[in-house]
Structures are given as C-alpha cells and as structure tokens.
Amino acid sequence: MDAKSDLDYIPGTPAVVIDKVSMTYQTTSRPRETESEPKPEGHSGGSKMRSRNVEILALKPTSLVVEHGESIGIIGRNGSGKSTLLKLVGGQIPPTSGAVYATSTPVMLGVNAALIPGLSGDQNIVLGCLAMGMTHQEINKRYSEIVELSGLEDAVHMPMKSYSAGMGSRLRFAIAAAIDPEILIIDEALNTGDAQFKDRTRTKMLELLDQAGTVFLVSHSMPTIADLCNRVIWLDKGELIADGEPAIVIKSYRMFAKKLAAKDRAGAMAFRRRMVRNLKIADVTDRSQLRRSKQ
C-alpha cells in the first residue's frame, strides 16, 4: 500500500462529500389474485397475473460533509438505507442522482470476501489479500498477524471447506483487516465470531480506527456506536433524520424505537417528523452562519 502523507489527515478538511445523493432501485411486483376478484368469462384459473415495474426509493436526496478524523456511526431500522449509503460511498453502486466525492478510494471492511473453499486457509490469505490490491511483499509482512487474528493456528493449512462457519468468518475478517485505508467503511463487521474472537476483533478495529483518517460504521449495537464514533447519523426509510453528537442521536433513536415497540406508531411518526424539522432548521442556521462568516 502507498504510504499516506500527513496532508491526507488534516483535521477539519473534507474527506468525503455526499452531494444530494439518492438511490432508487427498479424491481417487479406481481399483484396477488384474490377470491373476491371477478374472473373474466371463460377464465379457468391458473393463468399468470401481469407483473408491473416498481420503483423503491432506498435513499432520498442526502447531503453530508465528512471531515478527516471523524468516525461516523450510521444507525436505523432494517431497510433504512444504511447499507445502501455505504455502498454509494464505497463506489460499489452508482447513485440515481447526485455525486460522492472522496480524497481517496474508500475501502469496505467486510466478512464476505469471495474465497475458494477447495484451497487451504493460507492459500486463501494470499488470494484475498491480492484481491484487495496488496503486494506479495505486503502479504508476507502481515501473514503472521492475519493467522494470529483468525485464531486458526495449524488449521490454516487445511482446506477451507473443512472449516466451521465460525472459522470461515474469522478468516475472512482477519484477511479484510489486513488493509490500511485512509477512508474505512465497516458494515456490521464487529458482530463476527464467538465472544473471545469478538474481543480480538474489537481490539483490531480500534487499531484500524486509529490508523484511518475517516471511518463509516454501520451497527445495530448502540454501545459499539457510542464507543467508537464521534458523530452519528440516523436514517429511516431512506431519509436523514438526525446528525450530531452520538449520545444525543442515540437517545433520540431509542425514544423512537421505544414508541414503536409500544405500538404507538402515531407518537413515533410525530417524533420522527419533529426530528427532521429540527435537522432542517439546524441546516438553515449553519448555512446562514457560513454566509455571514464569508462576508
């Protein structure tokens, strides 16, 4: 990997700019036929219903400026657009509208690296690291560290197809963690393996967070988000609901989730609308202050 200059890590300078980015997926939907629906004359049943194209708005137009040195936690219910946002930042999918700008290529740290079951663990280490752009010299330098983090010991020389699911996950994480990126993206990577391995992954994650200039972290674990992030973004149904101090945003999200759990949907939605309104007011205030500072 290329060595990073000190200029890449100047605090307070933008690392990632998300400019009015949105994402819409195209899919098909087949309406379900019910017994109460009238059948055309001569209809014998069993014919195919006509499918129709459906657009799913995974992420509404969103703008964010993320500075060097920030660790951004992204929280929200399932289907809120968290992983979609990470894929857009990482360049895995193009946005429907808007653009993402970054000072270097963001790197996704995941546990789903495409390895070959018929190869041994050590062969897959070389394969996985080469796929991430590492050189053979860099692989040799980090090989022992990868094996130690995986906890496989002598099993690293056995075919990966003989591994348990936990062993395979540990190896994938250890390979992925060998990178040294400037902009790091993590999607639930801390939830891998048993309790002992989670302790090791957390220690490794803290090292990666310290080395990386900017971090995006998606997790359903609020303690993890609070512990590792200095800024939190709350998404819901593809919309940015809150953006700010971890303790404040997490508390608001928990209040929202509590109302939903109590089946107080009306109260939850009213609270959600109030949060969005407050975010827009804060955004207008920030832009006004910026204009005054330039005058």
Reply yes or no on whether the pLDDT at 167 is more than 50.
yes
Does the CA dihedral 90-220-281-294 come out positive or negative?
negative
Report angle CA 120, 124, 155 to the nearest 5 degrees. 40
pLDDT tens column, 40-71: 555 555 555 567 788 889 999 999 999 988 99
pLDDT at residue 139 in the model: 94
Lowest mean per-residue pLDDT among 87-91, 262-266, 289-293: 289-293
In this predicted model, what pLDDT tens digit does every residue of 68-97 receive, in sequence order?
889 999 999 999 999 999 999 999 899 999
Percentage of the chain lying above the pLDDT 70 cut: 79
Name the residue among 113, 123, 17, 132 with its Cα closest to residue 65: 17
Give pLDDT, residue 30: 67
Residue 129 has pLDDT above 70, yes or no: yes
284-287-289-292 Cα dihedral, nearest 10 degrees: -130
Lowest mean pLDDT among 56-60, 140-144, 188-192, 271-275: 188-192
Q: Specify the pTM.
A: 0.75
Which of the residue ranges 5-9, 110-114, 235-239 has the most confident prediction, judged by mean pLDDT?
235-239
- Where is average pLDDT lowest: 1-10, 54-63, 75-84, 132-141? 1-10
Q: Average model confidence (pLDDT) for the chain?
A: 82
Q: How far apart are CA 290 and CA 295, in angstroms?
A: 9
pLDDT bin (cut points 50, 70, 90) of residue 133 is confident
- Output the pLDDT for position 3: 38
- Tokens at residue 148, please? 């130690």
| DSSP per residue, 61-88 | EEEEEEETT-EEEEE-STTSSHHHHHHH
